[in-house]
Amino acid sequence: MEDSSYNLFNRIPKDKRERLLHASIEEFAEHGFHQASINRLVNRLGIAKGSIFRYFGSKERLFAFVFDYAIELVKARLRGIRDITKEMPFFQRLKSILWVGINFVEQHPSIYRLYLKMIFQENFPLRDELLRKVHLMSAEYLTSLVRDSISKGEIRNDLDVDFVVFFLNSMLDRFLQAYTVAFWDAGTGIYKAPQEELLRKVDHFVSVIEKGLAIHE
Amino acid sequence: MEDSSYNLFNRIPKDKRERLLHASIEEFAEHGFHQASINRLVNRLGIAKGSIFRYFGSKERLFAFVFDYAIELVKARLRGIRDITKEMPFFQRLKSILWVGINFVEQHPSIYRLYLKMIFQENFPLRDELLRKVHLMSAEYLTSLVRDSISKGEIRNDLDVDFVVFFLNSMLDRFLQAYTVAFWDAGTGIYKAPQEELLRKVDHFVSVIEKGLAIHE
DNA sequence: CTTTAGAATGACCACGTGGTCACCAACGGA
DNA sequence: TCCGTTGGTGACCACGTGGTCATTCTAAAG
């Protein structure tokens, strides 16, 4: 399936491979695809430019490789939390997922930044294909949660599943954005907040998702 | 305050000025700042490259000019709807605002795309300054609405204003994104939906904001 | 110690970029 | 008709890019 350049990259020493992988994510996360510079990358790494092209063939294929790697990380994490929270009530489960998300972007900030860049920079190469991967993953994930909860009678059934998934997806994503991107915080104090504070915000947040903004009677 | 190049641009024939303005928005909206090409722009327009630099001095100043123009358009529209909806109940008012947003991105799709690019492409020139302008505008706007509604007892008062504003901002923005960017639609059918269908979606959407996802008892 | 296969290298290439500036065209006043 | 001023022009420049490939290095085999 994969060609020889892929194999070549997989055969180089492990620490070099990881340094290269990490630095590439950084470069793409910081500058997007087109503004990312192979020259800058190899200078930072102390590796010859030719090597990059021997390993990956082109800037585009390097990017695809890096992105696939990132997706795998996310998938693994999501699978984990899904299994662990299987028995929780829905809104409790939501909180856990949000926490996992926060931990992930904390641990891999540049991967999340890469994802954000990807979405809004329309002329990425392979954009549609890669986005489809991401979207399928998160939609499938949330869809199964939501179906479960509707059948258990935990949430409204006058909305179609897709709509609820869209809503949740939006909210979770936006919360993470507020946590990572100072601009989106908008005075809420979510941005890089300390644990306990963040916990309270998550509670507030999910409570609004659960009960809405209107006053209960 | 402004230098002579600005005045020069304002003195050229009106139709040329508008063609140039429009084409510039297109170019930046499609490619972001760095990937936008002055060569491509002038070729499309049939204007000499030198003229652009006589009018604006640099690519950066051209961009700033274009962006300011876009902001003015948005502001005007927002002012309008605020006054018109002054006496409506809060969640009714939200719907109107959403409608106005939809109409705006319908009428000026490239301005909205420019805004999205701007947000996630971190190395835009003047990014922080321009984002602050945008953010101030929308936050001030929503903040005053929310304060009103809290004092009228229309929405929960156990959340701080900033948090509610953040929530609303996120939701409105995301709805517009789903309407403009196919990817964000995610199976909800919001993307470029026809009027009647959209009306129903807006109702659903605001109803969730109002009452939440949980079942009422 | 010599041979040799294959990985690493970086000078080099063609290209597209933002920006410049010497020149040109047009036009109003004399 | 001539001149002077002013806006318009596009060939040109230095630069940084993604990508190439002849050469050098390395290390295992004979």
**Closest residue to B162, CB basis, from A122, A163, A188:** A188
CA A63 → C1' C16, Å?
Answer: 22
B73: closest CA of chain A, how far (Å):
22
Rounded Cα distance between B154 and A89, Å, is 29
Give residue A217's pLDDT.
Answer: 63
**Closest residue to B166, CB basis, from A154, A163, A188:** A188
Burial tier of B28 (Cβ tally within 10 Å: 0-12, 13-18, 19+): buried
Give the nucleotide nearest to A56 (CA→C1'): D19
Q: What is the DSSP string of chain B?
A: ---HHHHHHHHS-HHHHHHHHHHHHHHHHHHHHHH--HHHHHHHHT--HHHHHHHHSSHHHHHHHHHHHHHHHHHHHHHHHHHHTTTS-HHHHHHHHHHHHHHHHHH-HHHHHHHHHHHH-TT-TTHHHHHHHHHHHHHHHHHHHHHHHHHTT-B-SSS-HHHHHHHHHHHHHHHHHHHH-HHHHTTSS-TT--HHHHHHHHHHHHHHHHH-SBPP-
Average pLDDT value for chain B = 91
The two tokens of residue B67 are 């962006």
B107: closest CA of chain A, how far (Å):
20
The two tokens of residue B187 are 């199976």
Written as tens digits, the pLDDT of chain A (217 aa) is 344 444 789 889 999 999 999 999 999 999 999 999 999 999 999 999 999 999 999 999 999 999 999 999 999 999 999 999 989 999 999 999 999 999 999 999 999 999 988 887 777 888 888 888 888 888 888 999 999 999 999 999 899 899 999 999 999 999 999 999 888 888 899 999 999 999 999 999 999 999 998 887 6
Asked if A117 and B121 come within 8 Å (Cβ–Cβ), the reply is yes
The nearest alpha carbon in chain B to A187 belongs to B162
Who among residues 142-181 of B has its Cβ near strand D, under 7 Å? none
Asked if B186 and A208 come within 8 Å (Cβ–Cβ), the reply is no
Burial tier of A118 (Cβ tally within 10 Å: 0-12, 13-18, 19+): buried
Written as tens digits, the pLDDT of chain B (217 aa) is 334 344 788 889 989 999 999 999 999 999 999 999 999 999 999 999 999 999 999 999 999 999 999 999 999 999 899 889 989 999 999 999 999 999 999 999 999 999 988 887 767 878 888 888 888 888 888 999 999 999 999 999 899 899 999 999 999 999 999 999 888 888 899 999 999 999 999 999 999 999 998 887 6
B139: closest CA of chain A, how far (Å):
8
Write out which nucleotides of chain C lie closer than 7 A to a protein Cβ: 7-12, 16-22
CA B11 → C1' D4, Å?
Answer: 21
The nearest alpha carbon in chain B to A137 belongs to B186
The nearest alpha carbon in chain B to A118 belongs to B120
Residues 6 or more apart whose CB falls under 8 angstroms from that of A132 comprise: none
Question: pLDDT digit string (tens) for B57-110?
Answer: 999 999 999 999 999 999 999 989 988 998 999 999 999 999 999 999 999 999
Give residue B111's pLDDT.
Answer: 96
Q: Which domains are delineated in chain A?
A: 64-211 (1.10.357.10)
Strand D atom within 7 Å of A31 CB: no
A121 neighbourhood in chain B, CB within 8 Å: 32, 117, 120-121
From first CA to last CA, the distance across chain B in angstroms is: 62
Q: Using an 8 Å Cβ cutoff, are B171 and B209 in contact? A: yes
B134: closest CA of chain A, how far (Å):
11
Rounded Cα distance between B65 and A63, Å, is 34
Asked if A212 and B209 come within 8 Å (Cβ–Cβ), the reply is yes
Phi, psi of A2 (to 5 degrees): -75, 155
Residue nearest to nucleotide D10 (CA to C1'): B48
Give residue B137's pLDDT.
Answer: 86
